[in-house]
Chain A
Amino acid sequence: MNSTPTTGTLNGPIPDRAARPAAVWAAISRHALVAAQLFGAALLVHLYAIEGPAFERVFLLATAGFIVNLALPMSMRLPFFVMLSIVGVVIVFGVGDAAWLLAVGMCLIAICHLPVPFGARVVILAAAGGLLAVSRGGVIAAPWSAAVWPILGSMFMFRLVLYMLAQKTAKTAAGPWWWPVAYFFMLPNLVFPLFPVIDYQTFRRTYYDKKEEAIHEQGMLWIARGLVHLLLYRFVYHFVLNDPADVIKLSDVVQFMLGTFLLYLRVSGQFHLIVGILHLFGFRLPETHKLYYLASSFTELWRRINIYWTEFMMKAVFYPTYFKVKRFGPRAALVLSTTAVFLTTWILHSYQWFWLRGGFPLTLQDTLFWGILGALVIYGALKELKAVKKVNQRTADWSWKRGLQAAVTFSIFCFLWSLWSTDSVMNWVWMLGAVANVDALGVAMVLATFGVIFVLGGRNWEASRSAGPQWLAVVSKPAMRTTLALAVLLIVSQPVVRGAAPKPLAGALQALHTTGLNAHDAALQHRGYYEQLDVRAQVNAEVLDVVGRNGAKWDDPASVGIIRDRKDLLLRDLYPSRSVDWNGNRFSTNSVGMRDKEYTLEKAPRTLRVALLGPSHVMGNGVADGETFESLVEDRLNREFHLQGYDRFEILNFAVDGYSMAQQVAMLEEKALAYSPDIVIATHYHPGQFVTQHFILKVAWGGIPVQDESLRAILAGAKLDPMAREGSVGVPFAAGRALAGWLGMKVRMPYGESEARARWIAEDVLDWSFRKLSAVSTAHGAVPVVLVLNAVIDDAPEEVPNGQSLERAQLRTLDLYRIFPEAERPALRVAPWDNHPNAAGHRLIAARLYEQLVGVLESGAVSTTASTGARHQFDGGHSR
């Protein structure tokens, strides 16, 4: 506890002469260790692809900058940090956007220093902010790219308030111009739009105010901790988090609640990295998060989770309100000022959203979350106020009372957090209904979670550090903890370790390397506040667009005018006779809307036709006309392959972006069969069941007529007959709707419930699709075949999903499931941000597909199948 300031390079006493060489060498060795750790951390950032390429560049810049910073005299260090941050702006944004960001930022800083009264400066700042808000809202076009907004917003939306508060007190107003520049353009802020609200006075007051070695070591420890948090987040996101639509029993509810709360590790991980990097340059800022999962009350939780926000609210709202109303007595003043804090927090979360993502969402679950949390904190604060003496947390080692309080606080907060993380309150209520379905695993999970928090939360973590055996004291030193953490992460990152680990552990280790969205989020959208705001790099995506794509414009198919919506089971198809430039490639459709050349409806004699159905990677997103594997295989068959009875091969590409298997079957019936194919190839890929679920929801909510009786029966069985979406209230549970209907309300199923129901029947619909593919093709004399082919993804499951469905339908497969070797994937993708195969990827597919297709054509089984009721036959006799 006794934290007497240690000697410092800037303001501490100089060691005596005799001790100086030893002290110098000790300092040098500590600096060298931090530098080595920093290089190790940079390696880990690269190996795990932490936070994307933009962060890697900034981290490398910070690593190099740290070495230079060490070599500089103290007076040069702050200007150097400013210079480094400005170089970072240019590296991240390029010269054009960087110039705008710096110019706008400098103007805002200049307004803070105008030689006019304080109130006038505030009014001018508000006007400037209003003008920027109008532009951010899209009313006036900004001359800079979209990537600038989140970072500009992040730099100024809160810090300007704190900077002006500091100006008001005038204690820290004076000083060289680089102080405000360093404060607003902090290097890590360039890649982290969600940024701790750093207080300007603290920023200045703590700059190299202690021994520099200790500050750098602390920073390095927090960087290591941040890396651990971010990798744990990945594990939770890819391994623990489940989908609300999958929640059917108590264990699912517990898993969802734990998973969503644990996702907050991303925020604490980012904040540790940010503050850790700033420590490397001397800014000894306070800890951002402190054992928040073990808080023993809601007031304690509020103080420990995002400490900077709490401090910001204390300074900007709580204390000013409290001192204004304290004449009403301490209890009333406490209630009023805490209410003001939560009201402001609630509004400012939407304000933050506006600057980072655009839009101004104020949802019911948002209101409920902040309202309930505010009430709980007020209750806790009143209890603390009533207590004569505060409990000294530094004494007892372990307390069952503290443990119990921590477990209860954690449980209630998980519950609240899950409300904040769902799409709507009704979906949340629907999901909670699964609690009634108690299972042994669920009970065990509740008890285990409660028990773990009880044991860990009951421990006095502050007191325990000073006690314990000698080895523990050594291991607990920041430098040792950092080294150990980095070493473990480095070992775990090695493929040989993954290879040697048992299967479940290997899967978990693989999750640490997986950078994209998880399977569900890739297909649909379900995210909590921080998730949507930043956690899965939604905000960074705009920055990464600029960095990763070098400013290239990247369009989706709908935005270039090649896709149109339909009110039948196809849901969408391609416009006929279109030719556009799409992300640098020519994309053309023929007169019937195939991404292919023209074919006559009537098949020429001695021609073998293949109808190819599939989603985007079959349609050829990201490659030019003539580069698709379909086109390459067709050319090669005609060039190299000879089959008795046939002079020509034609492969007709009916694939459309986003197609599920059900839509492929609909396309077969709608267009492909008219071309008399001999073989029908439909494409199954790893998120096949997810896209089928999406298909069901679109059919149900879109009022799409379903002619097929079997499919209609499946939908009706799940109560997903086409339903009215407008003008009615979403009420969960059939009983709830019946009751509301009885009361005269016009009700409907909430979207979340329909999602869950769609999930339940997605496999049945996929089964139906395979059966229908088989039946319809065979009935028309064509051989049905399923091509199993993914886009160039990293996290595909080991086994082909829905393999049993394929077996049940007795469909022949062309298996290209593992076609893209892990090491070669980056070279086979359209772009780092686009997993579709590029031209090289299509060539690889074409080569392998050719071999397998020839195998099908050569096989007697095909010949036999085709001859049973076929109008066109190929008997398998051939020569190559």
Chain B
Amino acid sequence: MSMRDTVRSFILENFLPGEDPKNLTDDTELKESGILDSMSTLKLVTFLEEHFGVEFEAEDLEAGNLASIENIERLVQSKLAAKS
């Protein structure tokens, strides 16, 4: 499973139960559409940290970084790159 699909599955399962997966594309706006609020952001970040073994800072949670699955993947990739 790709990183995008992993993130998508987590979001669908935890924040959008019952939603048609086709409605959650890579560029769906997660913040603007209300899918990610403060609590779900924390849950998502905890999941990303545990699943991908990266560590986030407060400034990583800037709205643009978590705006879409595409952006989240970019953020995690940059963290992984910095780690290695």
Contacts and interface: CB of A to CB of B under 8 A. Distances in A.
Contacts of B64: 201-202, 205
A385 B25 contact: no
Contact of A4 (B25, B35, B63): B25
B38 A390 contact: no
Contacts of B38: 303, 310, 314, 318, 381
B63 A199 contact: yes
Nearest to B56: A323
A839 to B, nearest CB: 58
Given A199-B63, A299-B39, A392-B15, A1 B58 contact: no
Contact of A384 (B13, B39, B56): B39
A201 B63 contact: yes
Nearest to B22: A2
Interface in A353-408: 381, 384-385, 388-395
B62 A169 contact: yes
A314 B13 CA distance: 25
Contacts of B19: 1, 392, 394-395
Given A3-B33, A168-B59, A330-B46, A394 B16 contact: yes
Interface in A698-721: none
A315 B62 contact: yes
A334 B35 CA distance: 20
Interface in B28-70: 28-29, 32-35, 37-40, 42-43, 46, 56-59, 61-64
Dominant secondary structure at the A interface: helix
A1 B17 contact: no
Given A5-B27, A322-B42, A389 B58 contact: no
B77 interface: no
A303 B37 contact: yes
Given A385-B39, A392-B19, A1 B33 contact: yes
Contacts of A199: 63
A169 B63 contact: no
A311 interface: yes
B62 A201 contact: yes
A130 interface: no
Interface string A732-767: 000000000000000000000000000000000000
B55 to A, nearest CB: 9
B63 A311 contact: yes
Interface size class of A (residues with CB under 8 A): 35 or more
B18 A392 contact: yes
Contacts of A1: 19, 23-24, 28, 33, 35
Contacts of B6: none
A330 B25 contact: no
B12 to A, nearest CB: 9
A286 B42 contact: no
A318 B58 CA distance: 9
Contacts of B18: 392, 395
Contact of A330 (B17, B42, B62): B42
A591 to B, nearest CB: 72
Contacts of B15: 389-390, 392
Given A389-B13, A389-B14, A319 B29 contact: no
B23 A202 contact: no
Contact of B58 (A323, A385, A394): A323
A229 to B, nearest CB: 21
A5 to B, nearest CB: 6
A165 B60 CA distance: 12
A807 interface: no
A4 B13 CA distance: 21
Contacts of B24: 1-2
A499 interface: no
B34 A320 contact: no
B57 to A, nearest CB: 6
Interface string A195-207: 0000101100100
Nearest to B16: A392
A521 interface: no
B42 A165 contact: no
A462 interface: yes
Nearest to B46: A330
Contacts of A388: 14
B43 to A, nearest CB: 8
Contacts of A4: 25, 27-28
A486 B43 CA distance: 43
A201 B59 CA distance: 12
A390 B57 CA distance: 24
A320 B39 contact: no
- Most chain A CB within 10 A, of B17, B22, B39, B61, is at B39
A323 B63 contact: no
B28 A2 contact: yes
B39 A381 contact: yes
A61 B13 CA distance: 49
Contact of A462 (B27, B28, B34): B34
A6 to B, nearest CB: 11
A70 B21 CA distance: 39
A3 B28 contact: yes
Contacts of B22: 2
A385 B41 CA distance: 11
A169 B59 contact: yes
Given A392-B16, A393-B34, A2 B25 contact: yes
Nearest to B11: A390
Contacts of B34: 393, 462
Given A168-B59, A311-B63, A392-B18, A286 B32 contact: yes
A769 B19 CA distance: 73
Given A199-B63, A303-B38, A323 B57 contact: yes
Nearest to A333: B42
B83 to A, nearest CB: 17
A308 to B, nearest CB: 12
Contacts of B58: 315, 319-320, 322-323
A196 to B, nearest CB: 15
A106 B17 CA distance: 50
Contacts of A2: 22-25, 28
A3 B61 contact: no
Interface of A: 1-5, 165, 168-169, 171, 199, 201-202, 205, 286, 299, 303, 310-311, 314-315, 318-320, 322-323, 330, 334, 381, 384-385, 388-395, 462
15 contacts: A1-B23, A1-B35, A168-B59, A286-B32, A311-B63, A315-B58, A319-B58, A323-B58, A385-B42, A385-B43, A389-B13, A390-B40, A392-B15, A392-B16, A462-B34
Given A202-B63, A303-B38, 5 more contacts: A2-B24, A3-B33, A165-B59, A334-B42, A392-B19
Q: Which 4 pairs of residues, A with B, have the shortest CB-CB distance?
A: A319-B58, A320-B58, A384-B39, A323-B58
